Structure 1
């Protein structure tokens, strides 16, 4: 087995993870004639419910603040145990129980409980991430941190030191790894890695940094992937924006030294393509876009190993991306393609059957939603000329390039390594072999192409809990399934982003940490200039 244990830290990450778990639940097949290509044991654990029935629940630990879980209870229909605190108390005297007014379950959750058709979700009906949840979680997965309250105006959980201090006090009292994570790790026969979803621009970044430090001490050689979700900055005051950027700068320095791979996720400030229409003020919408890219780029880590060509692991993908051993920050991009309606109707569950057009041409190059070709970077010196792709939607904080207005001349993008993932019908039929030609850099040193392709027939499921943010060429919402292409890359744009971030926030970081964080950010930027001279690349590309 090759299990992955997930950590969810904070409200943004729980929105993101909830989309992820709902997608995993949709891959389950229940007929004898159907077989899912997904190895469900990677992310789900077997167990026994309170009534003796067998259960299958996510291998995840979920942290959130008081009020962050909405209507989600620690106990559920599969683990309906006695949760009365007075029954287990050593106090023999009279007790007084004070209860807050319970949050009313959403109509969507009520329909799931009653087995009726679910109503369409909207941004106004999704109040919490649990409002669109479709899976049961083990009681041990639910960890509420009552020291802070969600959306508090008195003491908002937004500063780095709050997260650090909260983790320190809780870990000193309980040993969080032993109490919360170890039970899931010990159930794994051969764990392939840990997947951490966290906020990267608020206090959860500080909490995650301390957690990662403990994880690395405990699981020294285990691959740890971090997906850092960021809230849109539109409409925020300058003070709030700088606070978020300072948190992000700290997070990148800490995560870079502890994680195997760090993938920042941010909604681009530039207009999205016409195929995407979302409300940037809705966490449900924004994280749905993130989840589509995250779920697609990691699909190869949970495909059944019978498909040896297109299945992989967190460790293998990390090794492919981190060419020089010190490039842990990766950029994530995506493009979408609608399936032909006539063929989409013939698909079995999740597009496993049928042969819809996923936008991949016979030449192996992708087509955009409206027939546009995906841009390929012919200037890349370490990747295949025919393989390195620049996709429609850049989720890797491209706005960071504009933070330092004084830095006008940027290097041409150089890709060290790239993982291209194509999912949807016919993606295997159109597969072209990786270009094995050698190329030379400016010093004459030969490099093998570093573009790696993964393909799957499994289309991305657009289930009823997922917002209708994707449009076809006629402007209509795409239904049921769609093809997605993602590119996970280590490239030289990280240098410019980190430099711009450093010059913007360094003066707002306390004197005691300013020099250390500034030096660490500079080291990160330098690690993405391996193999060429920065001076020679500051050319006409702006």
Structure 2
């Protein structure tokens, strides 16, 4: 097998991961003769419930603060223990139990428990990520950290040092890897990697950095991918925005040297395309867009290997992107595509495949697959519609040339849905290696006919060309790129936050960010634009 173990760190990440797990659960098939294209063993573990019932639950460890789990209990219907805690206590006297007022279950969760048709979720009814959760978790997956409380106004979990202090205190008391992560890793026969979803603009970024450092001590050669999610900052006071930028800069400095790949995700401040309508103040909405992009990009790490041209793994995809060995931060983009009209009679090919603006996408034979561009020629590195890699960071450094083009070192492009994308060659920009050789960046294409399913737990944020809500399935393109815009963003971050970092860490963090930026001009210069930034 090729298992992936997931770590979920913090409220932001748990919103994203809940959408992710709901989608994984939707791939299970139960009818005779049905076969899922997804290898469920990659992300799910078999087990036995308290009553001997066979279970299949996510290979994940979920960390959140007190109050962050909402209505989710550590014990569930499959692992419920009816024995009263007072009866099992070693204390011979009378026990006095103090219970906090429980959070009422959402109508959506109640409908799942009773088997009734669920009501439509809204931004007001999705109060916590557990309100739209559709899967059961093993009790060992649930780790509540009572040292901090969610949304506390007295001691919010937002300053960088808090993450390190919390991890150190917990690790000293329990050894977090042994208690929480190692049981899931030891169950894996041939683990392909660890997937971490974490906030990077608050104290969770430092918690993640400490965790990955311990992982590297134990599992040095294991692929570790970090999806670093960030809250929208529009409308926040200046001091809060600066704090988030400082946390992000420090997180990138720490994580880039430990993780195999770091993928920051942030809602762009620019208006989204008209066919994506979401509420930027709703974590349920914002995380849905992030989750669809992550799930579509990593789909090929869990497809069944019976057809190897479609399947991949975290380590191989890392090698494709990090071609110079110092490019561990990647940009991520996505484009939703409107589902096609019903298939034409007598054929199994989709008719009239269009994007969400109603523009036609050409159909190609289903056997046209380009898993990897062997020659290294560029087959189109043009940006997709939605850049989730913090494009606003390019404005942090006023010295940055607005007209400078990005040069792509390597890119993984994915397409999921009916039909096959155009494979027409797009020459793009040509970069010049210091040895004088001119070459185009490599583009690696992965494709699958498996559409992205829009579940009843997913907000209706996608619109068709006639502005009606899309509620069933979507085709989707995504891309992961290592390119020179990472250098510009890191330099912008360094310029914007360096004076806000304490003197004891300022030089270290500044040097680390400068080294990251240097990694994105390794062996390359632009033939059309000299690099004159310091």
Normalising by structure 2, we get a TM-score of: 0.92
Query: Aligned pair in 2 of structure 1 residues 42, 434: CA closer, same or farther (>3 Å)?
Result: farther
2:492 corresponds to 1:500: yes
SS in 2 for 1:416: strand
Q: 1:421 to 1:155 in 2, by over 3 A?
A: same
1:440-477 deviation line (CA, Å, top 9, x unaligned):
72543254751000000000000100000000000011
The verdict on how the C-alpha distance between 1:414 and 1:89 changes in structure 2, with shifts beyond 3 A counting, is same
Report the equivalent of 1:421: 414
* Closer/same/farther in 2, CA of residues 281 and 438 from structure 1, 3 Å limit: closer
Aligned positions of 1:312-327 closer than 5 A: 312-327=312-327
Structure 1 alignment gaps of length 5 or more: 347-352, 361-366, 375-381
Matches within 5 A, 1:135-174: 135-174=135-174
Q: Give per-residue Cα distances to partners, 1:362-387, cap 9 Å, x unaligned.
A: xxxxx56431889xxxxxxx963433
State the match for 1:132 in structure 2. Answer: 132
- Verify the 8 A CA contact 2:356 2:463 in the aligned structure 1: no
Paired residue for 2:329? 329
Query: CA 1:279–1:186 in 2, change beyond 3 Å: closer, same or farther?
Result: same
1:356-375 equivalences under 5 Å are 356=350, 359=353, 369-371=357-359
Provide the residue aligned with 2:244 in structure 1. 244
**3-state secondary structure, aligned to 1:197:** strand
What pairs up with 1:34-49 in 2 under 5 angstroms?
Answer: 34-49=34-49
Residue 524 of structure 2: SS of its match in structure 1?
A: coil
Matched, 1:441 2:432: yes
Superposition deviation, residue 89 in structure 1: 3.1
Per-residue deviation, 1:479: 1.9
Question: Given the alignment of the two structures, is residue 342 of structure 1 paired with residue 330 of structure 2, yes or no?
Answer: no
Aligned-residue offset at 1:323: 0.7
In the other structure, the counterpart of 1:219 is 219
**2:65 alignment counterpart:** 65
Deviation at 1:43, TM superposition (A): 0.2
The yes-or-no answer on 1:475 pairing with 2:445 is no
Does the 8 A contact of 1:358 with 1:425 survive in 2? no
Distance change >3 Å, CA 289–CA 87, structure 1 → 2: same
Label 1:259 to 1:356 Cα distance change in 2 as closer, same or farther (>3 A): same
1:217-261 deviations in whole A, cap 9, x for unaligned?
Answer: 111000000000000001100000000000000000110010000
CA–CA distance in 1 between the matches of 2:84 and 2:439?
64
Q: TM-score, normalised by structure 1?
A: 0.91
> Is this contact kept in 2: 1:434–1:453, CA < 8 A?
no
Contact 1:358–1:424 under 8 Å retained in 2: no
User: Which residue, 449, 453, 456 being the options, matches 1:464?
Assistant: 456
Q: 1:411 offset after TM fit, Å?
A: 3.2
1:393 aligns with 2:381: no
Structure 2 gaps, min length 5: 363-374
Structure 1 residue aligned with 2:102? 102
The answer for the alignment partner of 1:528 in structure 2 is 520
Equivalent residue, structure 2, for 1:175 = 175
Do residues 453 (structure 1) and 441 (structure 2) align? Answer: no
Partner of 1:122: 122
Name whichever of 525-534 and 35-44 sits farther off: 525-534
Q: Give how far 1:425 is off.
A: 1.1
CA distance in 2, matches of 1:198, 1:261: 13
Instruction: Note if contact 2:378-2:427 (Cα within 8 Å) is conserved in structure 1.
Output: no
For 1:404 and 1:457, the matched residues in 2 are separated by: 42
Name the SS for the 1:537 alignment partner: coil
- Measure how far apart 1:388 and its partner are: 1.7
Q: Does the CA contact (< 8 Å) of 1:404 and 1:504 recur in 2?
A: yes
1:328 is paired with a residue of what secondary structure? coil
Aligned residues: 518
